[in-house]
Amino acid sequence: MTGLMKAVASGKPREKAGARTMARYGFQVHASILKMLDLHRSGADYRAVFDHFDDLMVFDKADKPEKVDFYQIKSQDKGEWTLKAMVANKGKGKPATFLGRLHHHMATFGQMVSRLVFVSNLSFKLKLADGTETTPDHHLVRSTDLHPDAVAALKKAVDNDAAKPPAAYGCDRFVFERTPLGLAEQDKFVKGCLLDFFHERGGAENIPVISLYETLQGNVLAKTGVTQEFTTEAEFYERKTLCRADIEDMFARATGGRRFAESWLTIRADLAAAGMNTIDVVRLQNSCLRYIRGRSAGESGATAFNAACQDAIVGHPTEIEACTTLPEIAARLKGWVSSDYEHRHGALYVEAFEAIK
């Protein structure tokens, strides 16, 4: 376990009040998805942690991380963010300000903190080193870009808001970021960003963007709502985080589900040739679609069945290659994979289809 993970395990996350709902936390969830897309596009390794020590944490590595960025994500319907507004008291006790709470992470994580990021849909009005002020066109401002007077005011504010002086100061780590995400029609904006993302990767016509959006949104919201304490690093990763490999897996499942649906006419002909009647074909199709939705959404039963099938397929390449029809592969998988998953019948055919190279 790295020093960072020891700090995560021993530190006290912020208090959480009540269950997370999309109505209340929609902006935070959508902004987190956009940040993951940015990280993914850059090619960086990462692991995102949702609503734990802060709205969003991002580790520099999926495994054995050494550095972390903290994000506070705030939305408002009008105005602009000044330094005075970001260091105004928002509660009793210390820290009680937005930037004071961000800087408080220095007490637990010290030099392992790379950035302390304040994210909002609004623009910032901050004094720059050359004496001018930022405009709405400034989408990313670092504390190192600020005028010495502004830096001194920032340091004084976080000092006054600290319960005790941190082991290391982080005023040089502050970043003020304006997200393009607005308050209205957030889902449409994120879907558009997903489509742009896949245009850049190539093959956007094969991606069911709505399904993928629902999968990402559902995963992030579910992980945001988990408030339990964790006894192992593996449990923490599973319940509260997503990494690059997790997102790639979602992309692969979304693509696989689409290919299956597009090939259904061919599959149906294969089933009819094997003697399956129309009623059974329809029931099988419904079971297949239900499995694809469950797998894309990360449902535990579907993902466990998928993992078991992948192990079986990898372990029996010669037997798979010898099959000449989809029902043959499904029958072999049925014998190799022991499971009481409720949509097992359809799941076998989906996995059999994807086993064909």
Q: State residue 18's pLDDT score.
A: 47
Say how far apart CA 297 and CA 219 lie, in whole Å: 7
Q: State residue 125's pLDDT score.
A: 97
Q: State residue 19's pLDDT score.
A: 47
- Name the range with the highest mean pLDDT among 86-95, 128-137, 230-239, 267-276: 128-137
Higher-pLDDT residue of 298 and 166 is: 166
DSSP 239-259: HHEEEHHHHHHHHHHHHHHHH
Find the angle CA(99)-CA(100)-CA(101) to the nearest 5 degrees: 90
Q: Which CA distances in Å does 39 have to 8, 35, 58, 143?
A: 22, 6, 10, 22
Say how far apart CA 197 and CA 140 lie, in whole Å: 21
Average pLDDT over residues 329-350: 94
**Mean pLDDT lowest for which of 63-67, 145-149, 215-219?**
215-219
Nearest partner of 183 among 18, 53, 30, 9, judged by Cα: 30
Mean pLDDT, the chain, as a whole number? 89
Q: Which secondary-structure segment (H or E) carries 288?
A: helix 278-296
Q: State residue 20's pLDDT score.
A: 52
Average pLDDT over residues 203-232: 80
Max alpha carbon distance in the chain (Å)?
Answer: 81
Average pLDDT over residues 114-129: 97
- What is the tens place of the pLDDT at every residue in 262-271? 788 889 988 9
Task: Give the pLDDT band (50/70/90) at residue 123.
Answer: very high
Q: Is the pLDDT of residue 205 over 70?
A: no
Residue with tokens 């372990």, as numbered in its chain: 315
Average pLDDT over residues 226-234: 86
- What is the tens place of the pLDDT at every residue in 1-24? 788 988 888 877 865 654 455 556
Angle between helices 300-315 and 278-296 (to 10 degrees): 100
DSSP 67-123: -EEEEEEE--SS--EEHHHHTS--SSSSS-SHHHHHHTHHHHHGGGEEEEEEEESS-
